[in-house]
Amino acid sequence: MTQNPVLKELPGVKGQLLPVCALCEEVPPRGIAGGYLIKGMFLCETCESAILDLKVGSHQYEFYMERIKKLLR
């Protein structure tokens, strides 16, 4: 048994690299072109513009900050 069965059983990979947003966990419709790679994590356009519109102290701001803190750990 020298073969690694994991390498040929990658679920969801069909010859295309589809990034999943680190914040909302969605795949943007335009794929990798529909977002940004920041510090090794992918952020979709929707979350990027949401973050830019956040008001400090709002519930959304807290939500995104918590998620980002966990991701950058």
Rule CB under 5 A: which residues touch Zn ion?
21, 23-24, 44, 47
**Nearest CB to Zn ion, comparing residues 9 and 43:** 43
**Nearest CB to Zn ion, comparing residues 47 and 68:** 47
**Nearest CB to Zn ion, comparing residues 24 and 41:** 24
Least distance in Å: CB of 57 to Zn ion? Answer: 22
The CA distances from residue 13 to 8, 24, 36, 42, 56, in Å, are 10, 20, 20, 17, 38
HSE-CB at 15 with a 13 A cutoff on CA atoms is 0
